[in-house]
Amino acid sequence: MKLVIRIAGMVKMVGKIEEGLSRLRLRRKYSAILLEETPENEKFLRRLRDFVAYGKISEENVAKLIQLRGQLKDKSKKIDGKKIASELGKKKLEDFGLKPFFRLHPPRKGIESKKHFGKGKGVLGNHGEKINELLERML
């Protein structure tokens, strides 16, 4: 499972990129989604890598993300993050009554640079397993 976090804002964005982010439901800064690891999604993320941070998320961070930042469509119910995280491969978030995106805080201690990951303290592009550290700062 991959976590995709939108970092770039909406000013001076090309129409195709804006449409791609909108289709992924990343319509505002610091929103996140969970994606399956498929070759089609990899190509799509490579195209959007100048605007998002993405990487492989751990199972415990999926449960934590769902528990802390998951939003139910029906507000009267409670969220069980571990149960949803364990069944997430078979079902989608909508099947559990959750919204398909997460709204995150800006990262604590800030973003040093919006350059690509690996070049200094950049945050854009493929983080691999390091996306979990960025997510921890944003929960």
2-138 CATH choice from 3.30.1390.20, 3.40.1830.10, 2.40.110.10, 3.40.640.10: 3.30.1390.20
The residue ranges of every structural domain in the chain are 2-138
Torsional class of 62: left (φ above 0), alpha (ψ -120 to 50), beta (otherwise): alpha
Going residue by residue through the chain (139 aa), what tens digit of pLDDT does each one get?
899 999 988 888 888 999 989 999 999 999 999 999 999 999 989 999 889 999 999 999 999 998 899 888 877 788 888 888 888 888 888 888 888 999 999 988 887 767 666 666 678 888 889 899 989 999 8
102-103/31-35 β-pairing = antiparallel
